[in-house]
Structure formats: C-alpha cells, structure tokens
Structure 1
C-alpha cells in the first residue's frame, strides 16, 4: 500500500516485506532507473510528485533497488530531523540496512555490504570533514525537498555519485540558483487531479475571501514580511473574519491554521479560546516535549484546531485533518502546496477536505488541484517568477493611462463604491443600488466612446479589471462574504452591463443615454 509523504507508517505483508508500489509509482521508478542505466556517473535527475503521492515511498524504493543493482552506498539528504527519522523508518520496513547520521554519531562501524545513510546537510558535512564519512564510497545521493538550496554546498563532495532530487514543486527557493543548473532532467510524476481521481488524495472544496493586501510589504526573500503580516492578520477585523470563516465552513472539524507570524498565531489561539473552541498554538520555539504533547492532543481530539507558524509544512502528517486555513498570504508556490497538502490525505471515511484561503493565494497561484506545466517551469523559472511578481504587484489598484485612453469622451472614470454604499445606507436604500449605479455608469462610458453595439461591447471587456476592483470594494462593504459569492457578483455585473449596453445602443436614436435606468 502507498505510504504518503511524511508518514512514519507503511503497510507491510505477513512476510514483513513492503507491499507493491502503485502503478504510477512503479512507472516513475522504472523511468528513473532507465535514465540511470543510460547515463554516466554524473547524472543528476529531478523527480516531481505532488505532496501525498508517496515521494518518500518511491525514493526509499530507489535506494533499495540501487543498492541491490550496483552494490554501492546511498546517502539520503533531508533538511529536518523529523524527515531523517521518518525516512529511516521507511527504509527499515523495506528491509534496507540504514544508519541515521546525527550529532551523536562520532564513528561508523565497518560494514561489509553496501548500505544507506540518512543525514541532514550540516551534520553530514561535519562528519565528512572529520573523516567519519568517506564520500568517495557513495554511488547515489538522494535529496528530499530538493527545491531547498542548502544541499548545493555538499554535492561537490560526492565525485563518484549520481544525484536524484525529489520535490513536489520543482521551482527553486532561490531565484539565483534555478534548478536546471543543478539537474539535467526533470521526471514529472502523477498530477494532483489524477491522484484525486484515482482515490489517492481527498477532493478539495475551496472557500476564498478577498483580503486587501496593500499594507503587506515583501522582504529580501521575496515573500511578505512577518511584521506587516502580523499587523494585518492580528487586526480585530481579520480575527473576526477568520472566526466567521471557520464557523461557516469548518465548525466542529479538525482544522489546521497556518500563519506567517508567531504574534498572529498566538492572537488567533486566544481569540478562538475566548469563543469557546479547543485550540492550541505551535511554533518553532515550542520545546520538543511540549510539541509532542500538542501533536498527540491534536491527533486524539476530534474537533481540535491547531494554529501554527513555520513548523507543520513538512515533516508532519495527520491524515484526519479536515480543513486547512491559509491565514496568510505568500508568494511561494512551494509553501502554498505544502500547507494545503497537510489536509489532502485520504482515508476510508474521508474523501474530501476544505481549503479556506484568507490571503488571495488561490488568485495568485490558481487552485491547488489545477494542472501546472512543471516541465516548462523547470526550464523557464525566470518567466514563471516574473508572472508571479506581476500578479502580486497587480493586487494594488489604479486606473491605467491605457484604460483612460480608450474612454476619451468620459470625464469621470472612477466610482467610489464605499462612499456610494454608505450614502445608500444613510438614505435607507438597499446596498445593491450601488451595483446598479456602477453598472449604469460603466454602460454610459461604453456608449459615449463607441459608434456601434460591437464597439461598445468590446469596451465592456476592457473594463474587466475595473469591475473586479469595484466588486472587491463592494464585498468589503458587505463584510463576511466568500470569494465564491464575489465571483458570482462579478459575472452577474458583466452580464448586466452587456445586456444594458446592447439594449440601449440599439435604441440610441430614440433614447438618450442619460435616461438610462437599471
């Protein structure tokens, strides 16, 4: 049976042998070994498989098969101690003799047969420096979470070794070190959609809330800073919105909440505690003992909520998680996939899970299960990074000179949705009258600057970004509305605009545009 990433258990048969791989895993394994057999010793391959697809199980099988076929030592590199321990356990269950090289290892016993070593980068580098590990005896290096760049410093030590990197997202965390400079070829595994269709991953339900992110600043690593994230997500309005989102879509379900800062996570914990919910906070400063206790509590408590920072994205697996809340914005597609992947495990009584996005991340990256051309991203990471930057920068609003140029006969292009909404409420009118007036103004703009129905309809398409902005402002006036609802509002707005423009333009000779009504 498949062993999911980061799990420390794997199904075995009565002979204590690992069960057969799934067909897609076997296919990928055969493809990787085909490349190994037909390339020289310096071959460097990158293998992509989504979180939950069983990467640990696959590369453990790679190690087993390589030792059997080539009678050479294998080193598995990880970036966290939890991953070291989990990898070692999987290898043992497959019958692979392995040794974890940690800070307590001062010498290695002599072995007569090829074996496997599991280590973290810094620890292994020190053991090589001390002469405890001889890199010349290693024939294969496997790198887990290969998108990290901490592994680069060690690869040059293994002059006789092939290298296989494994990751769910083959996009380097460092723009100056694209993955195509380290690896010669990318092997793309099963897609998320195929894993869902095959019953290997749970099917997601997506709930999105528009959040104004203009106050967020990016740091030197390209992601949003902790300080500006804390200021936004610890505000009373955002805490209230988070609680509303939880109660609307995840109440009484086991839930993970991911935050960007410890300050926010602690505030979230207190806010939910005050509301009467069972919740605990976890971050990288939590002691090992307390962390183990909290994770055990989370595992056993049916409706538990765990709010955390920078600690549960890798090396953690709790298949019973029913909802993942992204209470943060990120520019990292790797982090985006890692966070959501924590809820994607499928169980016999869990075929679906929920994603609640509080940081416009779905708009930035697309839905988690949407197909991505990883081969193109691997080959042209600069273009992909630029597209993400453009999308992030585009979250701010402004009427561009190009848009103004398309409406030369209109003096006033802007429309203050929030002011109009407040005025409507003060006048005891329905808030929806604001949308009606906005549609009316856009219709007049299109008619003032065109001579035919087709020209006017073309102008409505040019207003798409402006319409999106107005709907976002309207949603903020309404308060707690989902992204699903605002998507419907946008489409309804566009339909009404086109209908209005068509009808009035056809009667243009007999009806003045200023007489237009909804």
Structure 2
C-alpha cells in the first residue's frame, strides 16, 4: 500500500474519550491517508494489536525486546533494514509493555521529520482505536495527557513544550531513526525523561534504525546499552522480505581529491557539487542509465544539491527522457503531485537531493542511481534501501553506483559486501557478491607487486614477490592509501588488518579481532616524569571497539586529537615535507634495508617517520615471513609442474632425455 508522505495537510479527526478525564481527544491523520480511515480493522489476533499479522522476524524482534525489559535492561536498540516495517513493530510493541509502577502507561514516539510523524500517527490509530493519539509538531500541540504522543524532536524542545509531559507517567519512549539519538537535541530529551544514564526508575527506551552507526564517531553506546535484534537488508533479501537487488558500478570520472570533509566526516556539499556536477559526469550518468536501466519503470536518482539536481535533470531530458525533480524548495502541492505521478508510473525518472533517504515509502522504485558520492556507510544504505521494498510485478531493483576512486575514501556498494571499493560490478546479485567476498579469486604467487586483492572492507592485501628489498616494501605507500582516505592523520598499515598511528606522546593501534569480528582500538601513552629526565609508557588499553575499520578510525582519531597533538600526527604538517633528518637516515641505514645507503634528499621526514614506524611494529618480520612462505610454495610448484609436464602428450618427436628413460 503506497502512502503519499509528502508535505501533506493534516486533518483533525475526533476520536474516543480519554480514560479518566472525560474530554474528547483528537488525532491528526495525513490527508493522503484519509481514504484508509473507513477501513475497519479486523478483530485483534493473539499476538498483535488491531489484528495486524506480524511477520516472523517482527514477532521475534518484539519478543527479544520484552525479554530484555524483563531482565531490567531499559535502553534498547533494534537494527532493522529499510522496508522491514519498523513503524509497525514499535507501534505493536506499545500494547505489549505493561504499565510502569502499575500506573505509568503513556508512550512517547520521537521522530525528526514531518513525514515520519504522520506515518507513526497513522499506524498508531490503526493499531489502537481505543487509545488517544496526539501530535506535538509545529502548530499542532499535544495536551501531554494522551496515551500515545508522536513528537518531532524540534518541536518538543521548542519554547519548553516538553515540560507539559510528566516523565513519571510514561512507560515507554520510542525513537525512530535512532542513529540520531546521540545528537545534542536527543540527548537533552533523553535526560528530561531520565534516560541519559541507565536507571531502574525510568521509562523503557527503544530506538529503531536501519543504520546503527554514525560517520562522525559519536558513540551510540552513550544512549543505548543493548542492540537486542538485528536483521540487515541482505538477510531480508535472502528471506524474500525485501526485493532482490542487482548492482552495477560506473566510473564517474569525478575528481574528488580536493573536496574537503564536513564536520560529520562526509564530503562538504558545496565542493562536492562542483566536483560532481560537470557536463562529463552528468553525461556519463545518463549514458550509464540508458545502457543498464532504460527498461526500468521507476528510477530514483540521488544528487548532491539543487544545482546538481537541475543540471542532471536537464541532461536526462536532452537525451529524450521524461525526468523530473523534487527538492526541499519545491512547493508542497507541486511536490505531492509529482510524487504521486511517479508512484503511478506516469514518468520514469525522479531526481532529488536529501529528501528520500529516510522514512519514505515508494515501493514501485525498481532502479536507484547513486549520483551523490558519500563517505557515509549509513547514507549509502539508506539510499539503496529506497529501492528494496516489495511491489507487485517487481522482480528486483537495479542499483547503479556512480563511483569515484579508492583514494578519496568513497564508500561504494562493493564495500558493503567486503569488496575493494574500486571493484567493478555489472548487474551483480547479492548472492554473487557474497560468494565473491567469501571466495576471492586466487592471486598468482608470481604476480606483480601492484596486484591488489580484496581483503574485506577494511583493507587491501598486497603480494610481495616483486619487491627487490625491504626498503622497496616500506617505501610503497599504496597499502596506507585506504586508511589515509578515511583519516587526516599519518596512519600506516603494518600487517593485514593492523594499523598504527605513532607520535612522541605514544601510539594507537587498530587491529581486527578475528574471533569477535570487530576492530579493537588500543593506545599506549608516553608519560614524562615531573623532573623531565625520565619517561615511562602505559600499558596498552582498549579505547574502542568498532564493527568496521571506518568507525574504528573515527574513534581513534578522536582520541589522537585530544592526546597526541595535531602537529605530531597530522598528514598535512609542513615538517613531513622537509628532508629526512641525519638522525633518521643514520637509524635507517643501520638497519641495512638495501645494499646501498639511503642518501640525503631521497626521503622526506614524513616518509622516514612512516618507515621507522613500520619497522618498529613488525613490517620487516612480515616481509621476511612472506618471502619464506613464497619460496616454499615456489619449490612445491616446480615439483608439481615437473610431474604435470611428464604426462603431457605432444605431437612430434620425444626429447632425448625422455627417449633414454
């Protein structure tokens, strides 16, 4: 059921009496949903409110939440893919949680967008026809006494509107798109309801999101203690709760080298637009769509900003394609009309910027074009998720990713499957990508040193056979390129899945834990004694655990900026470009890294510093062990080849040695 969730007008619909105070209460219903109001809900089933039949995983999710609440865990997170019915789950959850202290039975649902408020109100009304539902948003002001209140976070904190709600009367606070929950506005709201720290005397908190991670490094653990259920979009596709997807990557030729990062770690939109919104890139994007998806009926294109939307729309039209666009500045009536026409498949391509990444239900989308590069895994998943909802007659959704290059730190669709960000995909299905990740093609042992093989989303593996010396290996900075595209600091990779950032104040390591499938961030600090003559090092201590390299780097960089100083570890520091010091050259030449000495002027201070760090943390030992392994494999291959060639049958005379045997 496709619901129009644009800037809908709201209608006031009278509802039943609220228990205990005898006045008629109202619920606001989006105008676009009025046609569903006359539908009488079926009788309640045994495991659902208002007879809604839950999917198996939805029931599993609710059961897991209830079990954790019984154990006394109060701040819970639920991770579910876009299109999984998160709104249905948390509205159904409301009736399954008993009153707190026998009397507190109110529920607060907090969201951050108008469309999400309207969607939640609609589902709550269907699920609980006998409960009062109010909205706190803009000009709509709740009484504070309703059974269920849906509030926009902005309105809730405006002019002390939150103070009408008595925290002692609430049993449950639900947060939609809960990856926002550690932002200042949400933290202030959580503190008001007594949820800023774990407490027995507080409502339950349940946060629901498709992307429980943040690019800016803020720790969700500051607001949520337990993720109690997880089902990502790959699981949902395999179990056929979501549409299948095929992925194609296309080189956009956009030069992002000079695009700076914003305060959240993603690309700054102004500079990104200038880099991406060029005639060349726009023409490549349209030609990629024509070549791969011109038969698709409903394509949603994600752009950088309004200027990019307009230019790319015009490029589509120049190629004879009926393409239209919607932005935040589009008048509400025009926006709703264009969106409804797109849902009716009256035209094939809809372009937007920043509107449809969260809380939008357009299930007929069968192609998504990612014309907006991003460093945010969360944003990438949100954009892809727009096309994964089921729809009658829809076989799959084609994701066309206009990718840049590895060195810019772009998160692309291959990285979601643990593949090299630059790996080319052509109509690859999910199961194919998983197979490619789990069984990468073998790399020939005698291949050149610049052969790169995917080693998971966190790193790049290099073969070593063509390095003439340890010095050549240490000088090769390509293995550091990926992590330096994520960080502004001078990280070096010293082993597979192991990285080091070193300075005078100590060092930080990031290392993958194979048993926990996490990246562990540890620090060792150098402490100077008061007289300044002696120093000592602290024991290694864990400062963060993260699900992938990107988030581990965010946590490590935050620690480094506070304790190491920008001058010591910043990649951009001028001292790194100065010639290597005599002390550095003397130290390196003592290690006999190559037959001839390293001469002044051959290295910069930064290069020498990186080599010394790699030597301190085991790269030389790794190099030597790798060569031993390769020599053993070479001997085994020679024996095998000798045996194999003996069995070859060739037309012509036998050689002399064979004739004598």
Answer whether TM exceeds 0.5 for this pair: yes
Q: Secondary structure at the match of 1:20?
A: coil
The answer to whether the 8 A contact 2:135-2:142 is kept is: no
How far did residue 215 of structure 1 move?
4.1
Alignment of 1:377-416 (within 5 A): 379-380=545-546, 383-386=549-552
Taking a change above 3 Å as real, the CA distance of residues 280 and 457 of structure 1, as seen in their structure-2 partners, is farther
**Per the alignment, in what secondary structure is the counterpart of residue 231 of structure 2?**
coil
**Cα distance, 1:457 vs structure 2:** 9.2
Paired residue secondary structure (1:66): coil
Which secondary structure does the structure 2 equivalent of 1:156 belong to?
Answer: helix
Query: Per the alignment, do residues 152 and 381 of structure 1 end up closer, same or farther by CA in structure 2, a change over 3 Å counting?
Result: farther
Secondary structure of 1:46's aligned partner:
strand
Tell whether the 8 Å contact from 2:366 to 2:398 is kept in structure 1 after alignment: yes
Contact 1:79 1:120 in 2 (8 A): yes
Does the Cα contact within 8 Å between 1:255 and 1:306 map onto a contact in 2?
A: yes
Alpha carbons 2:401, 2:413 under 8 Å: kept:
yes
Residue aligned with 2:164, SS: coil
Return closer, same or farther for 1:109/1:162 CA change in 2, 3 Å cut-off: closer
Residue 18 (structure 1) shift: 3.4
Q: Which residue of the partner structure matches residue 179 of structure 1? A: 220
| 1:282 alignment counterpart | 326
Q: Is the 8 A contact 1:67 1:74 kept in 2?
A: no
Structure-2 residue corresponding to 1:239: 282
Alignment partners' CA distance in 2, 1:164 and 1:24: 17
Q: 2:207 aligns to what? A: 165
Corresponding residue to 1:362 among 406, 410, 413: 413
Deviations 1:288-311 (A, max 9, x none): 222111111211234421111011
Q: Deviations over 1:329-376 (max 9, x none)?
A: 111111111101110011231131100000351244447967899995
* Residue number in structure 2 paired with 1:220: 263
Unaligned runs of 5+ in 1: 391-401, 410-449, 459-498, 504-518
1:124 aligns to 2:156 (yes or no):
yes
Q: Does 1:249 align with 2:292?
A: yes
1:67/1:73 contact within 8 Å kept: no
Greater mean alpha carbon deviation, residues 339-348 or residues 281-290: 281-290
Is 2:192 aligned against 1:154? no
* Correspondence for 1:210: 251
1:380: how far off?
A: 2.3
- Alpha-carbon offset, residue 387 of structure 1: 5.5
**2:109 alignment partner, SS class:** strand
Which SS does the other structure have where 1:57 is aligned?
helix
Does residue 46 (structure 1) correspond to residue 81 (structure 2)? The answer is: no
Moved more, 297-306 or 209-218: 209-218
In the alignment, structure 1 residue 61 sits paired with structure 2 residue 92: yes
Which segments of 5 or more consecutive residues in structure 2 lack a partner in the other structure? Answer: 7-31, 45-49, 195-201, 405-411, 419-428, 435-456, 458-513, 520-543, 557-587, 597-625, 635-640, 646-661
Matched, 1:145 2:168: no
Contact 2:111 2:153 in 1 (8 A): yes
Q: TM-score, normalised by structure 2?
A: 0.54
Distance 1:384 1:231 in 2: 26
**Which 4+ stretches in 1 moved above 6 angstroms?**
5-12, 370-375, 405-409, 450-453
TM-score, length basis structure 1: 0.68
Q: Distance in 1 between matches of 2:178 and 2:274?
A: 33
Greater shift in the superposed pair: 98-107 or 43-52:
98-107
- For residues 301 and 593 of structure 2, the distance between their equivalents in structure 1, rounded to whole angstroms, comes to 45
Residues 127 and 88 of structure 1: is their aligned pair in 2 closer, same or farther, counting only changes over 3 Å?
farther
CA contact (8 A) 1:45 1:186 kept: yes
Change (3 A) 1:383 1:196: closer
CA distance in 1, matches of 2:337, 2:273: 27
- Is the CA contact (8 Å cut-off) linking 1:2 and 1:54 kept in structure 2? no
**1:38-117 alignment runs, 5 A limit:** 38-39=71-72, 43-66=74-97, 72-95=105-128, 97=131, 98-106=133-141, 108=143, 115-117=147-149
Cα distance in 1 for residues equivalent to 2:392 and 2:628: 59
Paired residues in the alignment total 402
Contact 2:121 2:150 in 1 (8 A): yes
- The answer as to 2:191 corresponding to 1:191 is no
TM-fit CA distance, 1:265: 0.9
Bigger drift between 27-36 and 97-106 goes to 97-106
CA shift at 1:221, angstroms? 2.0
Q: What are the residue-to-residue correspondences of 1:331-346 with 2, within 5 Å?
A: 331-346=375-390
Give the match for residue 61 of structure 2.
28
User: Which protein, 1 or 2, shows the higher relative CO under an 8 Å CA cutoff with sep ≥ 6?
Assistant: 1
Equivalent-residue separation in structure 1 for 2:555 and 2:271 (angstroms): 18
Q: How does 1:314-325 map to 2 (within 5 A)?
A: 314-325=358-369
Partner Cα separation in structure 2 for residue 277 and residue 24 of structure 1 = 41
Alignment RMSD, CA only?
4.0
- Please give the alpha-carbon distance, in whole angstroms, between the structure 1 residues aligned to 2:80 and 2:172: 20
**1:78 Cα shift?**
0.2
- How far residue 104 of structure 1 moved from its aligned partner, in angstroms, is 2.2
| Equivalent-residue separation in structure 1 for 2:353 and 2:277 (angstroms) | 14
- Describe the SS at the equivalent of 1:142: strand
Going from structure 1 to structure 2, the CA distance change for 1:143 and 1:85 (only over 3 Å counts) comes to same
Partners in 2 of 1:306 and 1:37 — Cα distance?
47
Task: Tell me the distance in 1 between the aligned counterparts of 2:286 and 2:161.
Answer: 52
* C-alpha distance in structure 2 between counterparts of 1:247 and 1:270, whole Å: 15
Structure with a larger share of its residues in strand: 2
Equivalents in 1 of 2:595, 2:269: separation in Å? Answer: 43
For 1:100, what is the secondary structure of its paired residue?
A: strand
- CA gap of 1:195–1:365, structure 2 versus 1, over 3 A, is closer
Identify the structure with the greater helix proportion: 1
Q: Does 6-15 or 146-155 show the bigger shift?
A: 6-15
**SS of residue matched to 2:97:** helix
Flag the 1:327–1:295 CA change in 2: closer, same or farther, 3 A: same
* Partner of residue 310 from structure 2, selected from 266, 280, 299: 266
Question: Of the two, which has the highest radius of gyration?
Answer: 2
Following superposition, the deviation at residue 456 of structure 1 comes to 12
